[in-house]
Structure 1
Amino acid sequence: MNILVIKSSVFGDNGNSSSLVNTRLEQLKSQYPEATVVVRDLAAEPIPHLDSERVGAFFTAAEERSAGQQQIDDFSMALIDELKTADRIVLGLPMYNFGIPSQLKSWIDHVARAGITFRYTENGPEGLVEDKPVTVLAARGGLYAGTGNDTVTPYIRMFFAFIGITSLDFVYAEGLNMSEVKEKAMREAEALLRAS
């Protein structure tokens, strides 16, 4: 069992989504004590945002790459290898200003690679990553699930489906900036995790 953990809170382990990730991870470790766990903390080890240099490296043929371009490609391929070899993924997903954290977008930009994690066919795009369970632990300051203001859930579903992963399970902790709601929301989210 290989478990890939992705934390995307700017607050690291102090973030609400990271707290839920840690709860889920402890569960999985007790279920699978021999599991190999890879933790990708995107705040502690930020992934560079895409720029012309990085995109240029991706689109340069391997035999024509400079040493610097090869290093960029190697980094991207290491992230893709973590994704492909994982049997399960646990994703901590805060909502910032109605979107995903920019550091998570950088991870997505490095793993969404044509011909590697997806390809275009006559019938449209086809994912090249084997389906696997993904637990998405979504923490939000307000109440957005099931409303038009939740841009995060459909985006994450669409991205993972695009590369071939459709087995997503969302657990929401909402209203976390509403003091009377926060403790109840975190308790309910943790109870859902324990029941799963």
Structure 2
Amino acid sequence: MRKILLITSSPRGTESLSTRFATEIAHGLRSQGGGSLTVRDLVANPPPHITEDYILGRTASPDSRTTQQNVAVERARELVDELCAADIIVLGSGMMNFGPSSQLKAWIDNVIWPGVTFSYATGAPQAYLLARSFI
């Protein structure tokens, strides 16, 4: 069964063309091939912006993390797990001041995780989204 992840990031919600188009695409994919649809509305449920707790927590061993670091890492882990579980990702994003919304940028910052979603093993970044354990 296919798992579809729909990510929307417009502050205009359903009034946004990017949200409407992305939603139509995700529902169309689901109706054509079945499967499940997970919706992540980054405006209704914004991911946290990166903090020192996240930066230090994701490189620290679990038993040496502070409570704040554990919370920051767990929030990011939820987003990464959701992303890694998806077979298809539909991203609806408008432009805010010539760039992505801050909510989308925060989501990207949380899911771009060295050793978890990408590696520099060959000297250049290589993405990989596979089920894996987190440290």
TM superposition score normalised by structure 1: 0.62
Where do residues 1-196 of structure 1 align in structure 2 (5 Å cutoff)?
Answer: 1-33=2-34, 35-129=35-129
Q: How far is 1:99 from its partner? A: 0.7
Structure ranking higher in strand proportion: 1
* Percent identity (aligned): 36
Measured in 1, the distance between the counterparts of 2:73 and 2:124 equals: 26
Q: For residues 132-185 of structure 1, give each alpha carbon's deviation from its aligned partner in whole angstroms, at most 9, with x where no partner exists.
A: xxxxxxxxxxxxxxxxxxxxxxxxxxxxxxxxxxxxxxxxxxxxxxxxxxxxxx
Q: How far is 1:96 from its partner? A: 1.2
Measured in 1, the distance between the counterparts of 2:26 and 2:13 equals: 15
1:30 is paired with a residue whose SS is helix
Count matched residues: 129
2:125 is paired with a residue whose SS is strand
Q: Which amino acid aligns with 2:70?
A: Q
Q: How far is 1:14 from its partner? A: 1.9
CA RMSD of aligned residues (A): 1.4
Q: How far is 1:110 from its partner? A: 0.4
Q: Which amino acid aligns with 2:57?
A: A
Q: Based on CA coordinates, which of the two structures has the bigger radius of gyration?
A: 1
Structure 2: gaps spanning 5 or more residues: 131-135
Query: 8 Å contact 2:8–2:41 — kept in the other structure?
Result: yes
Q: How far is 1:9 from its partner? A: 0.4
Q: Which has the higher contact order (CA 8 A, sep 6+)?
A: 2
Measured in 1, the distance between the counterparts of 2:126 and 2:22 equals: 29
